[in-house]
Every structure is written in structure tokens, then in C-alpha cells.
Copies of this chain bind each other. A is one copy, B any other.
Amino acid sequence: MTPIASTFVAGPDGVWRIEVVEPVTGASLPAAPRLSVLAGHVVQPASALWAVRGSTGHQRYTRRDEAAALRAVQAGLDRPAATWASLIPIQKSAAWWELAQDERRAIFEETSHHIGASLRFLPAIARRLYHGRELGEPFDFLTWFEYAPEHAAAFDELLAVLRASEEWLFVTREVHVRLARQ
């Protein structure tokens, strides 16, 4: 479980076509034709319109029983049928980061059911969470989702459930980059 470091580069190249960049909360990111996912934390190429970076890491809130439940149903990335994807960069407020661990856990799961509510969307929706805050990045989290086009409605429902949660009251910036593999 060594952390995976990635840089998401929007510009002229990349296997992912950017369908739309939707501003959800706060400042958006510039529109761009394509997205590439590069290994490591790399400097933004001269041809790029923007680049965001993150690292995977250990799970911050998940209990052993929840981790086992997730592992039993979740799917990996790069499934041939999962030709649609989303990159959702998120920033949370200073108030969130000043909460203690038990307070953040209570909002994350006991109140907002982030894990529990997400479970019924697995394995249709595959996910990978990257952390950016301690890298000095503008976004605290980058979540990468992959799914088959027939699960698009389920994916949008998952987003609606999360965005209606108490946890999302702490989200100060959110951008939704919808993608298709081509």
C-alpha cells in the first residue's frame, strides 16, 4: 500500500476526453480538451491549461468492519466497460480541518453515512481517493471515479446523496470534470 502519486493534466493530450468542467462550489477550473493521468508529482507541462496533484494514502476514517465490507464489493480501476470517468477536486473549510478526529468521524459516517451510503453504488462505481492538502495543492482531495455509461444515473445519484450530507457543508470548493475514454 505504498502511496500512489499522480498528476492530472488538462490540455491538448490524454486518453480521456473532457466532456464538461462543471463548477459545483467556488471557483471552477478552465475548460480543456483532454486529460492525462501522469505518474508522480510532475511540473505542469507548458502545453497544459491546468494540473492538479494528489497521493493516495491510508484510510482516515474507515473502521475494520467497514473496510472489510468495502473490500468485499469494490471494483478496481481500468475495467474495459468503464469508459466514463469523473475527476472531482474538493477543498474543505478551515473549520473542518480544525475539528478533532472523533468530530470529523462523526460527521463523515455517523451523520453523513459517507461509507454506508456509498456501498450500494459498488461495484458499479470504482473510486480512488487522492489527498493533496499536505502537498501544498489547492485541492484537499481529488476523487477519481470510473463506471460504464449504463451506470451514469447511479453515479449522479451517488453525487446527490453525498452533496446533501452534513459533511458537504464543509466543502468550500468543488469542481466536476466529466470524462470519456477515447
Contacts and interface: CB of A to CB of B under 8 A. Distances in A.
Interface of A: 1, 3, 5, 40-41, 55-64, 66-67, 94, 97-105, 131, 133-136
Nearest to A61: B101
A96 to B, nearest CB: 8
A64 B103 contact: yes
Contacts of A57: 133-134
When all copies of this chain in the complex are counted, the total is: 2
A129 B143 CA distance: 27
Closest 5 CB pairs of A and B: A55-B134, A64-B100, A63-B102, A58-B97, A67-B100
A40 B101 CA distance: 26
A41 B136 contact: yes
Contacts of A103: 64
Given A1-B97, A58-B97, A94-B1, A64 B102 contact: yes
Contacts of A104: 58
Given A1-B94, A60-B60, A100 B134 contact: no
A63 B1 contact: no
A101 B61 CA distance: 6
A40 B135 CA distance: 10
Given A133-B57, A135-B55, A1 B98 contact: yes
B136 A134 contact: no
A94 B3 CA distance: 11
